[in-house]
């Protein structure tokens, strides 16, 4: 089984980059059995809407994950309640709309996809480690792909090793900066600390530099704007062993129209 995971899609520039570069990825690295993406910033840089979700599904994305910004659009909660192909972090309280785990099925293959949110330098949340144990029980024999939306590299690595040999993939998101530590852990789990961002990379994590730098210089409130400069797509391609459901290969993806 081959899985493409696209790192945080950032606003309209991210959606345009995904639309432009996905066909090339399919030619050069495909075919893919499942295409996944993090969509929590896909609508104007914060949250997701029905229109934006429909646009991304139309590209052939099979399932999408979220994070702490998944609720930021007014229709976000209702969308999550009705759309089974988008998961919110599973360690939010059960009362929250949506689901933390989905099972994708295509061409006789099954893949469980879940989202978890970290607790270090993040809003208070249920324990992602204990919730991961529950997700594994829910997934059963189906390989489990986890998007761990977290700030601290230490927390991401700790969770990955905690799940090594049990989850198929633990892919970090949230920082929008792709890390160069893609690896297969000793017991067979594919891991990367952060899959990166899809959108304008001549920016500060997707926001225009001239709207961000003054905030650092003065500390005054500033309205950040999504950048379209330097478009690129970040992500990973993971190959799973059909018998074990664990990883055989992980390849980091960083492409732009220019490379």
Buried b (16+ CB within 10 A) or exposed e, 134-170: ebbeebeebbbbbbbbbbbeebbbbbbeebbebbbbb
Res. 259: pLDDT tops 90: no
Res. 2: pLDDT tops 90: yes
The string of pLDDT tens digits covering residues 188-231 is 999 999 999 999 999 999 999 999 999 999 999 999 999 999 99
Q: Which residues, in sequence order, are CB contacts of 56 under 8 Å at separation 6+? A: 9, 15, 18, 37, 39, 42, 64
pLDDT value at residue 117: 98
Residue 176 annotated in active site:
no
Cβ contact 47:76 at 8 Å: yes
Catalytic residue of the set 69, 174, 176, 201: 69
Averaged pLDDT score across all residues of the chain? 97
Query: Which CATH number do you get for residue 59?
Result: 3.60.21.10
pLDDT value at residue 258: 84
Range of the domain at 7: 2-255
The string of pLDDT tens digits covering residues 50-91 is 999 999 999 999 999 999 999 999 999 999 999 999 999 999
The domain tally of the chain equals: 1
pLDDT value at residue 1: 98
The string of pLDDT tens digits covering residues 135-192 is 999 999 999 999 999 999 999 999 999 999 999 999 999 999 999 999 999 999 999 9
Residue 192's nearest CA partner among 2, 46, 1, 6 is 6
Taken in order 60, 63, 68, 71, the sign of the CA dihedral is positive
pLDDT value at residue 215: 94
pLDDT value at residue 62: 98
């Amino acid at each position: 089984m081959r899985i493409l995971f696209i790192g945080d899609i950032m606003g309209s520039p991210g959606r345009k980059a995904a639309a432009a570069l996905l066909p090339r990825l399919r030619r050069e690295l495909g075919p893919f059995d499942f295409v996944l993406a993090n969509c929590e910033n896909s609508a104007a840089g914060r949250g997701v809407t029905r229109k934006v979700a429909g646009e991304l599904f139309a590209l052939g994305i099979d399932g999408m994950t979220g994070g702490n910004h998944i609720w930021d659009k007014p229709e976000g909660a209702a969308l999550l309640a009705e759309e089974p192909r988008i998961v919110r972090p599973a360690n939010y309280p059960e009362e929250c709309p949506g689901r933390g785990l989905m099972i994708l099925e295509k061409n006789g293959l099954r893949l469980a996809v879940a989202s978890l949110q970290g607790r270090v330098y993040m809003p208070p949340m249920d324990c992602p480690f204990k919730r991961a144990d529950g997700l594994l029980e829910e997934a059963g024999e189906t390989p489990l792909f986890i998007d761990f939306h977290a700030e601290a590299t230490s927390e991401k690595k700790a969770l990955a090793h905690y799940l090594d040999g049990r989850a198929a993939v633990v892919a970090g998101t949230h920082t929008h900066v792709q890390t160069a530590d893609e690896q297969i852990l000793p017991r067979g789990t594919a891991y990367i600390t952060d899959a990166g961002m899809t959108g304008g990379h001549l920016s500060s994590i997707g926001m225009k530099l001239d709207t961000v730098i003054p905030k650092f210089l003065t500390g005054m409130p500033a309205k950040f704007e999504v950048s379209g400069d330097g478009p690129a797509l970040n992500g990973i391609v993971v190959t799973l062993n059909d018998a074990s459901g664990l990883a055989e290969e992980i390849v980091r993806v960083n492409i732009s129209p220019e490379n």
